[in-house]
Amino acid sequence: MKFFLTNIFLLLSITVFAQKYNVSGHITDSKQTKLAGITVKIKASKGGTVSNQDGFFSIANIEKGEYILEVSGVGYEKLFHPVKIDGANISISLQLNEASTELQTVEITGRKETEYKNSATFIGSKSATALKDLPQSISYVTKELIQDQAAFRVNDVVKNMSGVSQFTFYNDLTIRGHRVSGNDNYSMLVNGMRAFTSFWKQQLIPHIERVEVIKGPSSALFGNAAAGGSLNRVTKKPLDEKRQSFNISMGSFANFRTTADFTGPMNEEKTLLYRLNVGYENSGSFRDLQFEKNYIIAPSFSFLPNHKTRINFDIVLQNGDSRLDRGQSVLGTGDLYSTPISKSLNRSNDYLKENVYNATVSLNHKFSNRISFNSSFMRTSYDEDLLEHRSANTYAKDAAGKLIDSQVEMQVFIRKRTFNVDNVSNYFNIDVDLGKTAHKLVIGYDYAQEVLAAGGSQLTARGYRNATNTGSINTYDATKKANYLLDAAGNPVPNVAHYDLKATNPYFLADMSKYFYQRTDYPSTFYSTQGIYLQDQITYKNLQVLLGLRQDYFTDLENYNTSTENKVTQKALIPRVGLVYTLNNHINAYGTFVKGYQPQTSTAVSNVNAGGPFDPLYSTLYEVGAKTDWFDKRLTANVSIYQLTVDGALYNAGVSGQPDLLTQVGREVSKGIEFDIIGQLATNWNLIINYSYNDATFTQSKDETLIGRQKPNAPKHQGNIWTKYVISKGNLSGLGIGLGTNFATERLGSIVAAGAAPQAIPAYQLLTGAIYYKVGKCQLQLNANNLSNTTYWVGGYDKIRMFPGSPRTWMLSINYAI
């Protein structure tokens, strides 16, 4: 009897402690279509199941515990879904997203990923390519990170990309030690197309899906391109599912922003999709007299008449009302702390009014599963209406011609200009198998032109009054005092009153009628660039080879639309070679060789006063590296080692009275290493780490003092860490915290004159933080930047034009998404 009871007890124990449960559910795609043949298994286990015709799956005999379901199928992104078995059977619904590389060869419909990590790019090879398979470094920031950091401009997010930093606080960056500016349509792209943007104001991003930078010259695909790299802003495209989000943000220095994002299908068949992004800003600044009143409207429509044809129409309208801030001026001693970082040189009636629009039509048509055709046209128009008081890039002069280091010589610009840029891009994607090799061909032609419209003109008031007080002389010559109007102390009288850096209240309405002006007309200009190119991505077992060749043609019509019009032409044959080798499932090693080419006529650099003629800029990039993914592709890590050689870059000539005059420097070499880590350590833990070492120096120059010197505004070391963690269960569920730090080592200011020492710009390290709390569909968010209230400078030209960073700021946001 005792033996019998013992066995019953053991049997019951086994039943209680070894009870097992089932996990079952249904799998659909984004259109709620039931998916059959999808593999579902417990991660790291050998067994699994496959969904049936109704999308149903079931896995039996699972013990209590926490598991990860691994869900995969051809044409769909792999899904990792956590489940917790706690004494009951589990029933769940799962949705898979179509793999972007299977859906489109150009970005016609929107990206559905909702993480910091992005898996594919279109800019790197003009076809949908996994970032891991591209033999060149690309850094990016997605809209999810943009929202988490409460960013509103491109310059707010560049710290998250290795090797990219601010040159000034204009729309002006340094990539691998080389300058990239907003008015250069070859370096600032929108959806891979050339766009003329403001040089003065940073680009707004409430309508942007992601910001990405392809490092080094991309001339083999895009023609004349910036040597350091090209920045591409990808606009948000329509989705075939309904989503809506709203945001209101308020913060330091009277900052107010609001944005909205609406997308979804416009008919039951989901063949017509729309997206509308709007944004408005009315903000002050830590800089005196500075403000921003901006709005942006960005509608987008996608027409998908069948599975072969996709058409997108994309418009971005931007209006900006602000003042142009030329930076902080300090005393002639060069002490950056000798004046407040808030002090600007403006007068109260200065203004900068800008209007920009981009309109794009894109077509993707698949003739078959192996052949597709892509065509895009984009028109960009930029209007500038400017009145500014600014420095004449020097200090005031006394009777003897000696500099007065507490007073800045001033000038006034009144300017109106309109630029129009047109782009056409056409190319075929062709997939071919030859023996044991697979070929992904791109064959294309593109054309772009930029026109400075008729009527551009500028009034300039500068220099010193002539002896009769009937005009002005641009510079003061102490040996010819009799030519100038002198005050009671014998000092020359300026045309525009000097700015007193020691004045306690230097701001007032200036009487514009008191100045003597000189008029400079900007006659209409025209230049065009076009090219034909062929690229082949060859795959053989674990090896991928990318071969590209482009023939590029550049035309500048000097004295455009006049009787003396003269056609200047240049051409270049531009190669590209890249290798990718898959070492294992996690690691791809790569190497690349790219040549770059960039015309530098005065028209191409958008400055009729630049001088010249100049030889083209040529560049050569050698790069090797590795790209990896971990934690089931939730986290990526990339490292690159590069050498970039640039011949013939342009710098300010430092000639008194000719502030726009440029000169050509011999050779520059950038050598360095970069790495980026981005993704998820867990489903509720996001992470970004990046670091770069960049030794960017002049190696050949007519000015021998430049040789061996680090290039302007190019930190040798810079880096960034940002992480966000959200509590997913318990009483604090929905509470999140973000922490970050970024730093840059000492930099040098711009070349100001031959043999002159540049201004040193101090190193800095900043701390940032954020708190999030999500309740249902609403999230409250508090961001703090520069927590330690560090005084620092993001860049600078010289001691009259330094660009301080913002002190500690707070931003409170309310986000609602459905």
Closest CA to 477 of 467, 577, 29: 467
Residue 648: predicted pLDDT = 83
Cα separations in angstroms, 308 against 97, 176, 257, 369, 506: 19, 40, 40, 9, 64
Neighbours of 4 (CB within 10 A): 8
Angle CA 78–80–86, to nearest 5? 155
Q: Is 720 helix (H, G, I), strand (E, B) or coil?
A: strand
- Predicted TM-score (pTM) of the model is 0.85
Distance CA(80)–CA(68), nearest Å, equals 6
Q: How confident is the model at residue 103 (pLDDT cuts 50, 70, 90)?
A: very low
Question: Beta-strand (E) ranges in 217-291?
Answer: 229-235, 243-251, 255-265, 272-283
Question: Residues with Cβ < 8 Å from 434, sequence gap 6 or more?
Answer: none
Q: Is the dihedral of CA 488, 490, 496, 499 positive or negative?
A: negative
Kindly state the percentage of the chain with pLDDT values over 90.
68
Q: Minimal CA–CA distance to 600: which of 556, 642, 632?
A: 556
Q: Looking at residue 102, what is its pLDDT?
A: 43
Residue 15 has pLDDT above 50, yes or no: no
Short-list 502, 499, 498, 482, CA closest to 490: 482
* Residue keyed to tokens 């209101």: 248
pLDDT tens digits, 653-707: 666 666 677 777 788 999 999 999 999 998 889 999 999 999 999 998 887 888 8
Distance CA(273)–CA(268), nearest Å, equals 10
Give pLDDT, residue 224: 80
Q: For the segment 59-74, what is each residue's pLDDT rounded down to a tens digit? A: 888 888 888 888 877 5
Structural domains of the chain, with CATH: 2-95 (2.60.40.10), 243-459+519-817 (2.40.170.20)
* SS3 category, 101: helix
User: 3-class DSSP state for residue 100?
Assistant: helix
Q: Is it the case that residue 18 has pLDDT exceeding 70?
A: no
Task: List the one residue out of 380, 298, 388 whose CA is nearest residue 352.
Answer: 388
Query: Alpha helix (H) ranges present in 441-562?
Result: none
Question: What pLDDT digit, counting tens, does each position of 500-524 carry?
Answer: 999 988 999 999 999 999 999 999 9
Q: What is the mean pLDDT of residues 428-452?
A: 94
CB 137 within 8 A of CB 623: yes
| Cα atoms in the 13 Å half-sphere on the side-chain side of 452 | 25
* pLDDT at residue 609 greater than cutoff 80: no
